[in-house]
Amino acid sequence: MNAGFGKRLYEIFVQLALIIVGVLSALGVDNYRETIQEHKLEKEYLVNLRNAVQADTVELKTEIQKTYNKINAITKMISLSNSNQSIDNDEFGNLITDVTMLIRPNFITAVYEELKYTGNFKLIRNNKLKTLIIAYYSDNAIIQQKNLADLGGNNAELIDHLAFDEMEYKVPYDQKRIYKAIQEHEELRDELLRNQKSVSSLRSGMIYTSMPRSIELLEKLQVEIDK
């Protein structure tokens, strides 16, 4: 009877062990599948981030060129007002456009926002890369806030001296009137010069800070994607 009981106990133990092994194997397979899926999703996010940063880099190059155009246009506008020299109407219209254009890089943040608010940042295993991504988008947010604060009303004085029909290109700009306004209104001259300084500062930030960080992040993302 003891032998029969021992045999039965042994069979139960074997069956229990097989069940445990089966459950652990199933869990292992599920975990493996989940890991594969997470790695696939991670790579998709990295590719989408790379594409977004590439677009940001192109945008930065465009905005940097606009800063040069704006600074040069302000210099030319002041010079023309001092000399009272008229130029071709279309050329003057382009000059006004360059002087009044806004410099506001439009960074693409959709992928970053999704990572942040869904908690999927945990999928990015490279912690150094994760820190670099967060720093990049945090810096961009600060740049945009500063731009809005510094350049939000940067053309108010000049626009006050432009006729609506002129701005709508229904009639040519009255160059003599605009030159006279610049000569006679200290607030307008100060606005143009202040605007020029603000844009110069913004340009330096984009060239020496934003662009290098964008390129660095692009390189790091590509390395991680290629692994």
* Residue with more model confidence, 145 or 50: 50
pLDDT digits (tens, 9 = 90+) for 36-87: 788 889 999 999 999 999 999 999 999 999 999 999 999 999 999 999 889 9
Query: Which has the closest alpha carbon to 140: 219, 218, 211, 67?
Result: 211
What does the pLDDT look like over 92-116, one tens digit per residue?
999 999 999 888 888 899 999 999 8
Least confident of 17-26, 135-144, 211-220: 17-26
Give the DSSP H or E segment for 41: helix 2-83
Model confidence at 150, pLDDT cuts 50, 70, 90, reads low
Task: Count CB neighbours of 35 within 10 A.
Answer: 10
Q: How many CB atoms lie within 10 A of CB 23?
A: 10
124-127 contacts at long range (C-beta below 8 A, 24 or more positions apart): 124/42, 124/45, 124/46, 125/42, 126/224
d(CA 17, CA 140): 57
How do residues 152-207 score in pLDDT, each as one tens digit? Answer: 557 888 999 999 999 888 999 999 999 999 999 999 999 999 999 988 988 988 89
Structure-token match 């790695």, residue found: 39
DSSP letter for 123, please: G
The structure's pTM equals 0.77
Q: Please state, in angstroms and rounded to a whole number, the distance separating the CA atoms of residues 22 and 10.
A: 18
Would you state the pLDDT for residue 50?
Answer: 95
Name the H helices within 84-170.
89-100, 110-118, 127-151, 156-160, 164-167
Residue 149 — pLDDT band, cuts 50, 70, 90? low
